[in-house]
């Protein structure tokens, strides 16, 4: 089955150039697919919205809303280019799509590719890394040298290709490469692929969320924060109402999803509603780097976003300090609950390599394992009065009733009932263009045609789904690699 042809890191292929096909069949409901895609797009949009405004104090923003995607950041990124957080999310997702299971060694290899080779970077180069991640990846590289000796290998390519079984055969080899003392929120920012892949099996989602975090930060607060947030994302994808997600008894009602040991007291306090402070910033909510503060901030934003992505992302950024982190973490849960349709269309259109992100969502949704027999029923929830519905359900529409982002960007497959978020083709004269130094110079065509055969609305899905489409090429076969980014274009 052809999926996404994730490139070798040696080839330095940019995300918009990756070849992919959409799935032929669906094993789930379209509503859950919308939410899976919503979580990925929510993460990526939170990432790009945070570019240029990160690490500013809450007082800097005042009452001014965040109105759109801007350029900036440490790498002077153009509007829509994402940072290390989306790159690491895609690294994790690519492991699930390739291995179709939880393979921590393969995950670390792909993170290393990003770190060393710029794998799945929006610029083609590695940039932005926190100290905990850097130290863990450096340690992983050192430990790979022991594998080379054990298996008489000479190259990184050989050792990177080792199976998890061979890794486990080396008894003293430990994949947990991080510190037990770090409590940053880095691992929470690219968590989404785990609950998206395992949403049909909540126990696995919660378990693997903690195990994945332990590769970089083997601290109980960090692990439990990831486990709890994964449970919220799973519940959102499975269709639970917002008041249930925010209920002070959510953890108790979903206790069967967690292991026997109770959550760390600081995470449990959040699960019991410590973030419910209406004035937010004035009440001490801060988007700091400490994972407890970050989790609290993201949940505060979700609690008081009035069911609006614009308000949610604006509030996340205005909390200040690590505001980009707050926006990314909020975006995962909000996207999983609202679905991608409620993310403003103009933000989705500006997002770099949006088609690749959409396709990743489709394959995560398809390849995730089925429910185990013990998880066929959702937890039985009793009514709670801790969160009045009027505070959280105003103007809320069911996900299935939400108006799509654009009637031109969505189509229902006769074969699989999949609803696709796909860039539409059209020909026009480009608007004012912004040079992008990360691509080689090419001839500037006066007419630019997006690399899709026909509008998906006018194309039979049976014909469309078998076309492996190299992003960055015209449909007629001629090469065209964009040298510019423009706020007026779909990014490919």
- Per residue in 178-229, pLDDT tens? 999 999 999 999 999 999 999 999 999 999 999 999 999 999 999 999 999 9
Give yes or no for a contact between 85 and 491, defined as CB atoms under 8 angstroms apart. no
**Phi and psi dihedrals of 84, rounded to 5?**
-60, -30
CA 230 from chain centre, in angstroms, equals: 12
Residue 130 lies in a domain: yes
Residue 114 has pLDDT above 90, yes or no: yes
490: left (phi over 0), alpha (psi -120 to 50) or beta: beta
Q: What is the pLDDT of residue 75?
A: 64
Asked if residue 135 belongs to a domain, the reply is: yes
The domain that holds 34 is classified in CATH as: 1.10.4080.10
- Range in 121-130, 264-273, 454-463 the model is least confident about: 454-463
Q: Is the pLDDT of residue 101 over 60?
A: yes
Digit-coded pLDDT (tens) for 276-285: 999 998 899 9
Q: Is the pLDDT at 488 greater than 60, yes or no?
A: no
pLDDT score of 11: 92
N- to C-terminal Cα separation, the chain: 23
- Which pLDDT score, from 0 to 100, does residue 103 have? 98
Buried b (16+ CB within 10 A) or exposed e, 67-84: eebbbebebebbbbbbbb
Mean pLDDT, residues 30-43: 96
- Is 318 domain-assigned? yes
> What's the rounded Cα separation, in Å, for the pair 380 and 333?
21
Q: What is the structure's pLDDT at 70?
A: 74
- What residue has token string 């999949």? 418
Judge contact between 147 and 170, C-beta under 8 A.
yes
pLDDT top residue among 238 and 24: 238
For all residues of the chain together, what is the average pLDDT? 78
Is the pLDDT at 83 greater than 80? The verdict is yes
pLDDT band (50, 70, 90) for residue 481: very low
- Which of 252, 253, 263 minimizes the C-alpha distance to 226? 263
pLDDT at 372: 62
User: Has residue 359 been placed in a domain?
Assistant: yes
Q: Provide the domain limits for residue 131.
A: 9-485
Asked whether the beta carbons of 451 and 426 are under 8 A apart, the reply is: no
Handedness of CA 470, 474, 477, 481 (dihedral sign): negative
Mean pLDDT on 36-46 = 97
Q: Concatenated DSSP letters for 160-175?
A: HT--HHHHHHSTT---
The answer to whether residue 89 sits within a structural domain is yes
Is the per-residue pLDDT at 131 higher than 60? yes
Instruction: State how far the Cα of 341 lies from the Cα of 437, in Å rounded to an integer.
Output: 32
Q: What is the pLDDT of residue 470?
A: 37
Which tens digits make up the pLDDT trace of 412-467?
Answer: 332 233 333 333 222 222 333 333 333 333 223 323 222 322 222 222 223 223 23
- Backbone φ and ψ for 435, nearest 5 degrees, come out as -60, 145
Q: What confidence category does residue 230 fall into, taking pLDDT thresholds of 50, 70 and 90?
A: very high
Q: What does the pLDDT average to over 353-369?
A: 96
Token duo for residue 123: 């610029």
> Which two structure tokens, joined as six digits, stand for 252?
């108790």
The gap from C-alpha 311 to its chain's centroid, in whole angstroms, comes to 20
pLDDT in tens, 312-355: 999 998 887 778 899 999 999 999 999 999 999 999 999 999 99
Distance, in Å, from the CA atom of 21 to the CA atom of 362, rounded to the nearest integer, reads: 10
Of 87, 109, 114, the residue nearest 98 (C-alpha): 109
- Number of neighbouring beta carbons within 10 Å of residue 279: 9
Find tokens 């796909």 and name the residue: 422
Mean of the pLDDT values across residues 151-174? 96
Q: Please say if the pLDDT value at position 18 is more than 90.
A: yes
Residue 408 confidence class, pLDDT cut points 50, 70, 90: very low
Check the CA dihedral 406-42-84-159 and report its sign. negative
- Rounded to two decimals, the pTM is 0.78
Contact 219, 111 (CB under 8 A): no
- Stretch 156-185: mean pLDDT, rounded? 95
Domain membership of residue 260 (yes or no) is yes
Contact by Cβ (8 Å): 216, 178: yes
Share of the chain above pLDDT 70, in %: 70
Residue from 59, 88, 269 nearest 193 by CA: 88
Structure tokens at 28: 């789930």
Beta carbons of 105 and 164 less than 8 angstroms apart = yes
Residue given tokens 């083609």 in the structure block? 124
Helix (H) or strand (E) segment spanning residue 157: helix 156-160
If one counts the domains in the chain, the total is 1
Query: Could you say which DSSP state residue 410 is in?
Result: E
pLDDT of residue 343: 96
165 in a domain, yes or no? yes
Q: Residue 403 phi/psi, 5° resolution? A: -65, 130
Q: What is the pLDDT of residue 427?
A: 26
Quickly state the pLDDT bin for 88 (edges 50, 70, 90). Answer: very high
Structure-token match 């990846």, residue found: 137
CB 129 within 8 A of CB 84: yes
Asked if residue 140 is part of any domain, the answer here is yes
pLDDT at res. 74? 59
């Amino acid at each position: 089955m052809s999926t996404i042809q994730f490139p070798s890191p040696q080839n330095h292929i940019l995300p918009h150039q990756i070849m992919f096909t959409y799935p032929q069949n669906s094993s789930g409901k379209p509503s859950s697919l919308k939410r899976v895609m919503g979580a990925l797009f929510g993460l990526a949009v939170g990432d790009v919205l945070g570019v240029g405004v990160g690490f500013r104090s809450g007082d800097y923003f005042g009452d001014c809303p965040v109105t759109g995607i801007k350029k900036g950041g440490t790498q002077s990124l153009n509007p829509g280019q994402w940072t290390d957080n989306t790159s690491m999310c895609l690294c994790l997702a690519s492991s699930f799509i390739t291995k179709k299971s939880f393979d921590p060694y393969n995950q670390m290899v792909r993170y290393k590719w990003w770190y060393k080779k710029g794998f799945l970077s929006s610029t083609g180069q590695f940039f932005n890394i926190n100290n905990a991640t850097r130290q863990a990846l450096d340690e992983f590289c050192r430990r790979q040298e022991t594998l080379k000796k054990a298996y008489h290998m000479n190259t990184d390519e050989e050792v990177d290709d080792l199976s998890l079984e061979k890794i486990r055969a080396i008894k003293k080899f430990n994949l947990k490469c991080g510190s037990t003392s770090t409590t940053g929120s880095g691992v929470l920012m690219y968590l989404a692929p785990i609950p998206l892949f395992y949403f049909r099996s909540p126990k696995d989602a919660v378990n693997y969320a903690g195990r994945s975090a332990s590769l970089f930060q083997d601290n109980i607060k960090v692990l439990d924060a990831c486990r709890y947030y994964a449970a919220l994302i799973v519940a959102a994808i499975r269709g639970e109402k917002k008041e249930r997600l925010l209920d002070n008894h959510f953890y108790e009602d979903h206790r069967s999803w967690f292991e026997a040991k109770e959550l760390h007291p600081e995470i449990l306090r959040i699960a019991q509603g410590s973030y419910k402070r209406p004035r937010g910033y004035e009440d001490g909510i801060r988007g700091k780097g400490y994972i407890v503060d970050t989790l609290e901030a993201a949940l505060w934003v979700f609690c008081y976003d009035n069911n609006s992505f614009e308000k949610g992302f604006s509030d996340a950024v205005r909390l200040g300090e690590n505001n980009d982190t707050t926006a990314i973490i909020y975006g995962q849960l909000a996207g999983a609950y609202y679905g991608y349709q409620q993310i403003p269309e103009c933000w989705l259109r500006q997002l770099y390599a949006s088609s690749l992100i959409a396709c990743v969502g489709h394959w995560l949704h398809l390849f995730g394992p089925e429910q185990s027999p013990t998880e066929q029923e959702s937890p039985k929830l009793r009514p709670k009065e801790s969160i009045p519905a009027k505070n959280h359900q105003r103007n809320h529409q069911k996900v299935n009733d939400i108006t799509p982002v654009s009637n031109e960007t969505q189509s229902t497959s006769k074969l699989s009932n999949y609803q696709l978020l796909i860039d539409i083709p059209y020909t026009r004269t480009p608007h004012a263009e912004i040079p992008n130094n990360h691509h080689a110079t090419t001839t500037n065509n006066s007419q630019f045609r997006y690399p899709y055969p026909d509008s998906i609305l006018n194309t039979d899905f049976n014909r469309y789904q078998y076309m492996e489409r190299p992003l960055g090429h015209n449909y007629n076969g001629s090469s065209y690699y964009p040298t510019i980014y423009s706020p007026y274009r779909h990014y490919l």
